[in-house]
Amino acid sequence: MASLTTISSSELAAPGGSYSLGIATGSLVFCAGAIAVDQDGKVAGETVGEQTKKVIENLEVVLKAAGSSLDQVVKTLCFLVEIDDFSEFDEAYAEKFGSHRPTRSTVAVAGLVKGALVEIECTAEVPSQ
């Protein structure tokens, strides 16, 4: 049975609930849903585009702590409060991921914690050391 390693980073606000920022097992890391919070736990950014960029930057910190990167992401699950914001979200998402295009599901939700406009979780490969 594969062991589980909890991933955390002092560069991010501590989780606001009973969960981990990430869990690595075998060659994969599973990142919890992230919102656009700064180190003080406050939502950063007023638009979906600004928040999307911050969310992905936060995920990037978790991935790095696990020995992975955005280029290794295989799947994202994205939540938007307003599906009408999809185009702005997609533009910011594409900018942060560059030419890499992980698989993705995007759904609309009734609301997110702290009034966030977008939340993203991801699964990535951790390259062999």
pLDDT number for residue 63? 98
Please report, for the chain, the start and end positions of each structural domain, with discontinuous segments joined by +. 4-125
Beta-carbon contacts of 1 under 8 Å, excluding residues fewer than 6 positions away, are none
pLDDT number for residue 1? 56
pLDDT number for residue 31? 98
Give whole-number Cα distances, 2 to 19, 25, 26, 75, 96, in Å: 20, 6, 6, 21, 31
Beta-carbon contacts of 91 under 8 Å, excluding residues fewer than 6 positions away, are 49
pLDDT number for residue 53? 98
The mean pLDDT values, 10 residues at a time, for the chain of 129 residues are 89 93 97 96 96 98 98 98 98 98 98 97 92
Calpha distance 45→18 (Å, rounded):
25
CATH fold, domain 4-125, is 60s Ribosomal Protein L30; Chain: A; (3.30.1330)
- Read off the pLDDT of residues 92-129 as tens digits, 9 standing for 90 and up: 999 999 999 999 999 999 999 999 999 999 999 999 86
